[in-house]
Chain A
Amino acid sequence: DAKTTQPNSMESNEEEPVHLPCNHSTISGTDYIHWYRQLPSQGPEYVIHGLTSNVNNRMASLAIAEDRKSSTLILHRATLRDAAVYYCTLGYNDMRFGAGTRLTVKP
């Protein structure tokens, strides 16, 4: 069973922020939270990861709840190229994926 749960799909308008949620209520104290995304017919690509503190990089921001049972990936200004399936995973070497969230970006 996947250790994370995400909404199946979300929609966003271009150039608007997008908040992609992930629940991971069984997270252990040492599990990092990783986000990957997959464009059609491609392998997934790394987006961001964090442990306890919120994280920012050039692609996105990661907001982690204080109890670490949930997190939110934030795309500050969605573009058409951000349309993909976004996966939230826990740990590092236990690389099982849940169903992910299919993000549609409307022009």
Chain B
Amino acid sequence: GAVVSQHPSRVICKSGTSVKIECRSLDFQATTMFWYRQFPKQSLMLMATSNEGSKATYEQGVEKDKFLINHASLTLSTLTVTSAHPEDSSFYICSASGQYEQYFGPGTRLTVT
């Protein structure tokens, strides 16, 4: 099946710094990608829908100035967590739309100290 990669897989950063997470579709073009965050023992929470060449659509309650999403090409979307705080520590997952289903990345575990 199609492959979606994320980089980095794990990152530790200090409070107040920014962190960029990359999501790539390796063998197909994805006009739409999704970003999720997941806390321990909880379900995936949709943060935003990322469309190539246009502004991302954020879910209610997600700060667009804090979670910057860029989808500059058909194979790459990035999520930047700006001015990170310990409460932003979470598992971040992206997905890309295939022909009939979503392909998910392996996730990025962010720890903010």
- A residues adjacent to B (C-beta < 8 A): 32, 34, 36, 38, 41-46, 49, 85, 87, 92-93, 95-100
Instruction: Give 22 pairs: A residue, B residue, CB < 8 Å, sorted on A.
Output: A34-B101, A36-B102, A41-B91, A41-B107, A41-B109, A43-B4, A43-B95, A43-B107, A44-B44, A44-B93, A45-B104, A46-B101, A46-B102, A46-B103, A49-B100, A93-B32, A93-B49, A93-B97, A95-B34, A95-B102, A97-B43, A97-B45
Tally inter-chain residue pairs, CB-CB below 8 A: 55
CB < 8 Å neighbour of A87 from B4, B43, B107, B109? B43
B46 is an interface residue with CB less than 8 A from chain A = yes
Main secondary structure of the interface of A (DSSP, over half): loop
Q: Take A93-B32, A93-B97, A95-B95 as given contacts and tell me if A100 and B105 are in contact as well, using a CB distance cutoff of 8 Å.
A: no
User: With a CB–CB cut-off of 8 A, which chain A residues contact B109?
Assistant: 41
> Count of B residues near A, CB < 8 Å?
24
> A100–B43 contact, CB under 8 A?
yes
